Structure 1
Amino acid sequence: MLRKAVNRMTDVKGKWAFITGASRGIGYLTALFMASKGCNLILHARKKEILERLSKKVEIFGVRTYLIEAELSDPDAVEAMLAEIDDTGLQVDFVLNNAGIQVAHSTEWFETPSEDYDLSFRVNTIAPIMICYHFMPKMIKHGFGRIVNTSSGISKEPQQGPYSASKAALDKATKDLATIVEGTEVMINLADPGWCRTDMGGSNAPNSPESVIPGICAGVFLDDRKSGRWLSAQDYCGLTIEEAVEKAMRLT
């Protein structure tokens, strides 16, 4: 019989979460939510000065922050960012790979330039997987950790081929990595925010950015040693994190 999720939820208070793409949109809201639960934050953006407003805002929750910048399309910059995090000596317990890029939306899909695929894969697939490869061994050694990679439900839309293909590749890599840690206290899962009215999603999207909370973070709080799941954040809109965790564990 499934025990109540409230008794099996990960305690994030006082731990450290690394959130990419935290300066705006879903990453920004994710950071606020995690801080509200007492989690310290390593916040990433292209330029760390744009994170200062968020760092000040989460002070009300009594958490600590560390700001870091990197251009995720540059593997060397990603490596430098990871080395800088290591140099802090902080134990990263949670990784939320939120940052992503949608290069173009074109109805002339047969004319999609290869550069669009190259950039999409570097930001949406290679960078988050580099981050996973860096932190997963540390989590395994430590005996605890959670990684949530941001997926996408886009399908059968060739006008968004570079974006959807790069996200599909991330899904596959995540599910493959999940087999390494299945049944342990290190968990890696996927979360799809849905189509939201962010800078990337545009004004015609049906969902508000706020609708992703708490679902986009549910993978952090799950505590059932299951990995490789694909969680739709919109399925948990309006729930408390306790209710979201209970629902997620009941359905997966």
Structure 2
Amino acid sequence: MSDLFDLKGKVALVTGASSGLGVQFATALARQGADVALLARRVEKLDEVKKDIEKLGVKALAIQCDVTDNAQIREAVAKVKEHFGKIDILVNNAGIGAGEPAETQSDETWNKTIDINLNAVYFTAREVGKLMVEQKYGKIINIGSIHSVVAMAGLPISAYAASKGAVMQLSKALANEWAKYNITVNTIGPAYFESEMTAGIVGNEGFAQVVKTYCPMGRIGKRGELDGAIVYFASDASSYTTGQYLAVDGGWTAI
């Protein structure tokens, strides 16, 4: 059974890998034996992550990439292909939060959120997907949110929720198109975990009450609690699972 989750010999590409959940995803895949290409804008942070990943006995490659720039995405994918020879796993993790009331939300906030949280997911999946189609194999994991399926009373997240809901539907559409190439496409929907993006929210006293109200487990996620989901979707354990959304949320979306 353990062989189902073995990623030795696989190459994973993780976007937004310089901090937060991106680091956790990359580390979880490396622990299962995958070599990892790390993409993010902050190359100095990527270098630190690269060193930590290599301590796990796998190879790592750090590439500076702004995922809102299609040319940079193409160049980064080409570099990974040149360096490792293939890409077996894509984790589309790069994202931002946005919390402005809909009636006063700026065009800039809306467009930036959609560009990073949705457009970049598609364009990265498209470029990596070309390689996977040729390989007749691939695992694409798009990182959505509990807000892919629910909003939240009192929280103005129209741009964020729209982008994450679209990511879930994009995953279903790509899963449908690429199943014939032995490519699976799935979405993970985390609730709130500690990260740079959520730092301004989870540390708020009022938010602690929100968590107690909306999350049956009464707490935010802990480091490592997304590892099982990412390894499952990246491994052959999920060979017959595609187009699915898996909430890792302490029961948040169950009520």
Range of TM-score over shorter length: 0.7 to 0.9
Whether the 8 Å CA contact 1:8–1:223 is kept in 2: the answer is: no
Alignment of structure 1 residues 1-252 onto 2, 5 Å = 6=1, 9-88=4-83, 90-102=85-97, 104-106=98-100, 108-154=101-147, 155-157=150-152, 159-182=156-179, 185-202=182-199, 203-204=202-203, 206-221=220-235, 222-234=237-249
The CA distance in 1 between the partners of 2:111 and 2:66, in whole Å, is: 15
Q: What letter is aligned with 1:79?
A: R
The secondary structure found in structure 2 opposite 1:9 is: helix
Contact 1:213–1:233 (8 Å) recurs in 2: no
Q: What is the SS of the residue equivalent to 2:191?
A: coil
Deviation per residue, 1:186-224 (Å, 9 max, x gap): 211111121112111233472223322222332112333
Aligned partners of 1:151 and 1:190 also within 8 Å: yes
Distance in 2 (alpha carbons) for counterparts of 1:120 and 1:174: 18
Q: How far apart, CA to CA, are the structure 1 residues paired with 2:60 and 2:84?
A: 14
2:19–2:45 Cα contact (<8 Å) kept: no
Aligned partners of 2:240 and 2:180: how far apart in 1?
A: 5
Give 5+ residue unaligned stretches, structure 1: 1-5, 237-252
2:5 touches 2:232 (CA, 8 Å); kept in 1?
A: no
Whole-angstrom CA distance in 1 between matches of 2:234 and 2:80: 20
Q: Which 10-residue stretch deviates more, 180-189 or 25-34?
A: 180-189
Encode CA deviations 1:71-114: one digit per residue, 9 max, x unaligned.
12233332332333344352100001111111x323x3211112
The alignment's TM-score, normalised by the length of structure 1, stands at 0.82
Q: Name the aligned partner's letter for residue 40 of structure 1.
A: D
Residue 8 of structure 1 deviates from its aligned partner by 7.4
Is there any run of 5+ residues in structure 2 with no aligned partner, and where? 208-219
| Contact residue 18 and residue 40 of structure 2 kept, 8 A | yes
Alignment partner, residue 243 of structure 1: none
Q: Match of 1:48, as an amino acid?
A: V
Q: Which amino acid aligns with 2:88?
A: D
Contact 1:10–1:223 under 8 Å retained in 2: no
Give the whole-Å Cα distance in 1 for the aligned partners of 2:92 and 2:247. 15
Tell me, yes or no, if the aligned pair for 1:21 and 1:45 is still in contact at 8 Å.
yes
Corresponding residue SS for 1:134? helix
Are 1:13 and 1:38, in contact at CA under 8 Å, matched by a contact in 2? Answer: yes
Q: Which amino acid aligns with 1:220?
A: A
| Root mean square deviation of aligned Cα | 2.2
| CA distance in 1 between partners of 2:178 and 2:73 (Å) | 24
TM-score, length-normalised on structure 2? 0.81
Structure 1 residue identity aligned to 2:123: M
